[in-house]
A and B are shown apart, each in its own frame.
Chain A
Amino acid sequence: MALRGAPRVAARLLLQLLPPRRCPAAGRRGIASCIDPSAGLTEEQKEFQKVALDFATKEMAPHMAEWDEKEIFPVETMRKAAQLGFGGIYVKPDVGGSGLSRLDTSIIFEALSTGCTSTTAYMSIHNMCVWMIDTFGNEEQRRKFCPSLCSMEKFASYCLTEPGSGSDAASLLTSAQRKGDTYVLNGSKAFISGGGDTDVYVVMCRTGGPGPKGISCLVLEKGTPGLSFGKKERKVGWNSQPTRAVIFEDCVVPVGNRLGAEGQGFSIAMKGLNGGRINIASCSLGAAHASVLLAQEHLTVRKQFGEPLANNQYLQFRLAEMATRLVAARLMVRNAARALQEGREDAAVLCSMAKLFATDECFAICNQALQMHGGYGYLKDYAVQQFMRDIRVHQILEGTNEVMRMIVARNLLQG
């Protein structure tokens, strides 16, 4: 009969042997190191980074596991972040934005991502949508939508992908038929981050002929008759944001909700994505940075064969490689951010390169960090697996890394 209790006792003993779960955002000894993300920043940028890191450590990191497990969309926490100015970071101040640069934005998302990558990634999508309305909307649209989005009283979703058009985005089918001073939408969007829980939908739809020139951009509000949502998808990561299909059935939208001109929608979508790619890459940077710190700590604490893992040259070299690639990725992302801010001609292709490089490298870093944790890395008690799961999708969305290669190749061979 002693056998029956044995598994439970064994489980309890095992738990006592586990190293304690560590907060990923705080550096182990706070000693300036080669991967310090504040290196080379201005005083002001260091302050931005400080407040974002502070917020990530105190308000996000303690909850990231719960948000992932229970699939909670942390509305209140995001609103707190918005109070600090994180709801419309690169949106103009006259409609409630913070008016910062793309580089400032990258620094902020990288810092926030150390607290919860999934939530920060959603916030970056939200920011992208507000920017699109701010930049391409007329005065009436800016004043109607931006203030409540900047404060995150309302949340936004970006709707481009459809079941039949992912990488081939310009072949989208959702139609918007002009009827008097309205458009009637029919079709559906797939994999929409925030879909069903958010309030404002920036939708790319077909108002004209085939191809990119026939696409326009419309802003829809939840509650519009004919706007409905699919089931909530069950995902490997990004669980603190709901993902649903968005369905339009004879959904009537006033013409006044169109951003820019008819046929301008694809261009607006792509311009939004340039910034979006830097932001997603920045989220990957934050996750990778946190993972390197976790790996660094684990290597120093965990002993095998009579000594800390950190005494093994193989692991020292792997850690050094992780650090080197992290810094390389960060430089790519910040370089692209500067180019975009300055409106340089090569900005779009640099954004694609940065997204490609950083998301691939950072996933490899997180994956390697998990490996260094051994069996513990596979347990949900440890944050390293969540960083890995959360950033896996960054290699897929906002343009797959294959599409990023297409963009770079085109620049080299046709430009």
Chain B
Amino acid sequence: MAALRVLVGVKRVIDYAVKVRVAGGGVQTQGVKHSLNPFCEIALEEGVRLRERGAASDVIAVSVGTRVCQETLRTALAVGADRGVLLEVGEGAAVGPREAAAALAGLVGRLQPHLVLLGKQAIDDDCNQTGQLLAAMLDWPQGTFASRVELEEGAVRVEREVDGGLETLRLRLPAVLTADLRLNEPRYATLPNIMKAKKKPLEIIPASALGVPLPLPRLRVLKLEEPPARGGGQRVQGVPELLERLRSDGRV
């Protein structure tokens, strides 16, 4: 079976353990700890495992964002990607799923990978759209919420976690897959790999140079606020009173 070229998308997001605060109408990101999106870590781990099994020859980590995203790519290289590509956008540019998918589509045109692995969603916006949009832009098959990936000759068998249970699809390559939680358990970078990562190539390409026009932003954030502070609870005497309260509070 011919070895594949695999593209793995990695997004730099606020670390999962951080208590996010809203300041000045937006999420406070200045000075806040960022890391590699956990679902992207899982996608990256899958890519590295494919290469270790001999199914993939080349694992390329790609990120769409400002220059600081290089640190995320360095982490991806330390985990095991062979090279990194930063599709750079200007400071302050809004990169949502459409913009990211368009930039990735442009890179796909240039690199011609056989497989694109993304996380199912980013933990900052929880959009769960980039993989699907990318597949549509490329007119490729998609296997989202992947919990198991098996390569076959010219195709990939994907087990998906869907609302009804587990669905298995066979997709012809090239294809876009998005990783769900149970696909694998990501490895730690090892000290030797961190040192090797220094020598791996990291290319910076302006996103606008890819030949796929980045769409104009169509979303405008009207309001952003923290959830209301948790109020106290109240004791009820029994089920009838509970139902009465639920009805009068308009929840039922």
Contacts and interface: CB of A to CB of B under 8 A. Distances in A.
Interface in A30-57: 30-32, 43-44, 46-48, 50-51, 54-55
Interface stretch (A82-90, A339-347, A354-362, A400-408): A82-90
Contacts of A28: 19
Interface stretch (B57-65, B111-119, B124-132, B185-193): B185-193
A50 B190 CA distance: 11
B189 A47 contact: yes
B90 to A, nearest CB: 23
B31 A51 contact: no
Contacts of B15: 30
Nearest to A55: B188
Interface in A84-114: 84-86, 89, 93, 98, 100
Contacts of B78: 47, 51
Interface stretch (B194-202, B216-224, B234-242): B194-202
A89 B195 CA distance: 13
A60 B42 CA distance: 22
Nearest to A98: B191
Contacts of B37: none
B17 A85 contact: no
B197 A47 contact: yes
A187 interface: no
Contacts of B192: 85, 93, 98
B211 to A, nearest CB: 31
A84 B75 contact: no
B12 to A, nearest CB: 13
Given A32-B31, A32-B33, A44-B198, A51 B191 contact: yes
Contacts of B21: 29
Interface residues of A: mostly helix, strand, loop or mixed?
Answer: helix
B224 to A, nearest CB: 18
A222 B1 CA distance: 50
A303 to B, nearest CB: 15
B32 A31 contact: yes
A30 B17 contact: yes
Given A28-B19, A29-B21, A43-B74, A85 B190 contact: yes
Given A27-B17, A30-B14, A44-B198, A84 B33 contact: no
A47 B72 CA distance: 10
Contacts of B18: 27, 29-31
Contacts of B75: 47, 50
B139 interface: no
B71 A43 contact: yes
Nearest to B192: A85
Chain B contact patch, size range = 20 to 34
Interface of A: 26-32, 43-44, 46-48, 50-51, 54-55, 83-86, 89, 93, 98, 100
Given A32-B31, A43-B74, A44-B195, 6 more contacts: A28-B19, A30-B17, A47-B74, A47-B197, A51-B188, A100-B191
Given A43-B71, A47-B78, A31 B31 contact: yes
Nearest to A33: B31
Contacts of A32: 31-33
Nearest to A32: B31
Contacts of A86: 191
A28 B17 CA distance: 8
Nearest to B14: A30
A27 B188 contact: no
A30 B15 CA distance: 8
Contact of B191 (A31, A48, A54): A48
Contacts of B198: 44
Contacts of A43: 71, 74
Contacts of A100: 191
A83 B190 contact: yes
Contacts of B19: 28-30
A30 B29 CA distance: 10
A54 B189 CA distance: 10
A384 B195 CA distance: 34
Contacts of A89: 191
A260 to B, nearest CB: 28
> Which residue, A26, A29, A55, A98, has most C-beta atoms of chain B within 10 A?
A29
B101 to A, nearest CB: 28
